Each structure stands twice: as structure tokens, then as C-alpha cells.
Amino acid sequence: MKEETNNKALNLKNLTKSTVWDVQENDIFRMLAAGEKDAELKDNLRHYADIIRSAFMIEEIKNDDKRIAEHYTKLGYQVGAIRLEDDKKVTWAIKKRPISRVTDLTYENIRHITAAKLLEVIDRNFGGGWDSLSQSIQDIIESGFDISTTTLPKDRLHKKGGMYEKKVADGFDVLEVAKGTWVEAIFAKLKPETLKPKMKFDEPKGLGDDDDDDDDDLPADDYNRPDEDDDVEIDEPNDDDINEDNYRTTFAIENDSDDDAESLSDFIADE
């Protein structure tokens, strides 16, 4: 009920490429109908249409062809009439963009799916596991979800008191990816929304201050980086230290690409 209330509170003026994922097709037509009465909204309809297209597929049905409209309806589109800036009335078929592949994930929609849905999408990525995902996709996922993985022999994965049991008890959804006699478990949990703290700027120092510190000019990423001449000791891994929390395997699997789909209008014209 809360989601329905929020949807009704949304309108074209406060619609963004993130909040548009919260609404459904009927909400879009409701907003467009309300916008017909607002001259400012009508003048910026193309801008709002671009926002809508980021989450919805939109097809214009020319000449209000009922046969084409019926075909789009069978494909899950919602069909309705809208009025453009020049008061020209057109028919649109609208359908929410599916999130079925990892390439469908974006920073705008990642927080608008459940952990179960996310793991379902990852599982469709050829069953390659977490490391089969590109770094950019991993970054998008981790912007909205807490992710952890472990790879263990099948008979050890569900060991009582182990990581698997603890994560599930903590509210994580889990995907098991078989890798021969081993299994990779991917744990996912939606991150709580947090308010971004406002940046606080210090007062600028005067030109005559004597307490200037050269370290202040160092980039943040380099401040704690050891000098090239420093000796850095690196511990070699020990087989005795391998456990369920640190053992990982990597499989590099490439993603495929979708072929361009034919236009439905062209298909109907050829019938």
C-alpha cells in the first residue's frame, strides 16, 4: 500500500531516471494525462519522454491502427492515447523494460529489484559465477547490494555453523553455482538507504600562515601509498590457512550480445 501511495505522489515534474523504475505503465499514462493541463509540462514533454524511455519501451502506433494495437497488447504493452506539445493526439504502446540480463542492470535500477531477482539474473549469465561478471557490472551491483562469495567442496558448503548458515540467518539470499565437485555460493542483500553527509569545508588559511604542510597537497589516493624505495613485505599464502572464507576460484566467461530485434510494425506489414 505504501508503494501505491508513493506512485500516486509522483508526477512528471519530480520524475527521474531512478524514480521512474518505481512506477508502472498505468502510472505513466496518468502522469501524461495530468500533464496535458499544465502548459509548462507540455512544453517539456520530450524531456520527460526521454526519462520515461530509460525504464519503458515506447512504440508509437500510427493512424491509431487497432490491429497493431492488439498485437502490442498481446506482447504485454499497455496502449493509450496522449497529447503532444502541438496538441496532436497520438497512440502510445508502453511496456516496462525487463531486467533479465546482467547488462540490463544500471545504477538507476539496481535498487529497484530484490536480492532474489538479482541472483536470478546473475544465474542466467551462463552460470559462470561472480568472477564471470565484468568489473563495471560488479560495481553497479555492489552500489545497491552487499555481496560476498565463498567456493568450497559440495560436502563442506552447508557445514553447520559455517558461512552459508550465518549469511542466510542474517537475511542474505544465496545462489549456488556448481563448479565441478566444488560450489560457489554468492550471497546478496539489499543495502539500507543512507543519507549522504554534507561536505564540511575548513576555513581557508591566510597567505602568511606558517603551518603549511606539504602532505596536504598529496592526492587522497597517494597519501598512504608507500614510497617506491620502501621495502614492502608480502606474506606468501599458506595452504593451511585456506578456509571457506578465503578460498576462491575464477572462471573467465564472456558475455554474449543480443541480436537487434525486428520492428513489430515491420513484421505486421509483411503478414
Q: Per DSSP, what are the bridge partners of residue 152?
A: 183
Q: For residue range 90-143, what is the model confidence (pLDDT) as tens digits?
A: 899 999 999 999 999 999 999 999 999 999 999 988 778 899 999 999 999 999
Is the pLDDT confidence value at 156 over 90?
yes
The mean of the pLDDT values for the chain is: 77
Question: Residue 87 has what DSSP assignment?
Answer: S
What average pLDDT score do residues 9-37 get? 89
pTM: 0.65
d(CA 184, CA 186): 6
What average pLDDT score do residues 75-101 get? 88
Q: For residue range 128-147, what is the model confidence (pLDDT) as tens digits?
A: 889 999 999 999 999 999 99
Who wins on pLDDT, 43 or 213?
A: 43
Question: Residue 210 has what DSSP assignment?
Answer: S
Residue 60 φ/ψ, nearest 5 degrees: -90, 125
- pLDDT of the residue at 86: 65
d(CA 268, CA 27): 28
